[in-house]
Amino acid sequence: MSQRTSTLSFYEKGVYKIGDSVTLFGHQLVRKILENIEKDRHNRILEIACGKGNLGSNLIKNLNSYLTGFDVSNFLINYAKRSNANNKEKLEFLVADIENIPFRRESFDVIISVFGVSFTGNSTIIQELNYILKKNGKFIYLDIFLKKNLPHEFKKSHIFQRTCTCLHGVKTLQSQLLQLENCGFKITLIESYDAVLQKILEDAKKFKEKIFSNSVAQIIFTKEELDIVRLWLELYIEALEKDLISCIMIISSK
């Protein structure tokens, strides 16, 4: 299965049904930051790998901004369009791949990525983002970073092979900071959210038990979807228990 196909089947079948419990804290965080720095200004915001578009629809409620969100999944973008049909003048959703970003130079005041950039191993992405960001524009980047190189046996494991798209492009914080600086970004904030990640781990364990002992889950999810959700939860539980990953927010400006 190609990386793109496995990403699509992963998000379209199963993971999107879990809701935003995993990314919700990231959404709240980004909202707080933007409301503080962008008060009463008209802005063009880009959200990378926006999934169902929930962050965008919440964000623009309190901002005088226009948000464009893109995701590789046609299915999720259609979902985002449908659920935001009343807000077309402030929100736009389109299908695009992080590996091939279709925007002009200096198009955006703010770029947001909540667990998005880590889906690409392509190192030119940061350069591309700098290119499409306006001067003094901000890049708000919350993601998973590697604490150490992934052990060989972890990478060879069934769980990793089936879900590797999630951790495909994950880098160490050090290498990502270096890359941001080399591409012309000035780092203004680095904040760790490992405590939140630990909490998510605890919730993931409970959630895993719950969905497998819960007959409602067997109705909501198909057997194939349950399998995907289980693998996805196991991947993060194992990576966290082995202390391989951390969750960090980087804010930088051009």
Residues in contact with ligand SAM by CB under 6 A are 7, 11, 20, 23, 26, 49-51, 54-55, 71-73, 76, 97-99, 114-116, 119-120
Q: Which is nearer to ligand SAM, 150 or 247 (CB)?
A: 247
DSSP designation for 120: -
CB of 215 to ligand SAM, least distance (A): 27
Report the C-alpha gap between 86 and 58 in whole angstroms.
13
Q: Please identify, using beta-carbon distances, which residue of 71 and 109 lies nearer to ligand SAM.
A: 71
For residue 128, give both structure tokens. 């591309």
Q: Which is nearer to ligand SAM, 68 or 135 (CB)?
A: 68
CB of 169 to ligand SAM, least distance (A): 9
Q: Smaller CB distance to ligand SAM: residue 100 or 213? A: 100
Distance CA 127, CA 131 (A): 6
CB of 27 to ligand SAM, least distance (A): 6
- We find the least distance from the C-beta atom of residue 48 to ligand SAM, in angstroms, to be 7
Q: Which is nearer to ligand SAM, 115 or 193 (CB)?
A: 115
Say if residue 142 is exposed, middle or buried (CB neighbours under 10 Å; 0-12, 13-18, 19+).
Answer: buried
Return the number of the residue (43 or 120) whose C-beta is nearest ligand SAM: 120
How do beta strands 108-114 and 65-71 pair?
unpaired
Nearest Cα neighbor of 141 from 29, 233, 17, 235 is 29
Burial (CB count <10 Å: 0-12, 13-18, 19+), residue 201: middle
CB of 217 to ligand SAM, least distance (A): 20
Beta bridge partners of 245: 146
Q: Is 49 helix (H, G, I), strand (E, B) or coil?
A: coil
CB of 135 to ligand SAM, least distance (A): 25
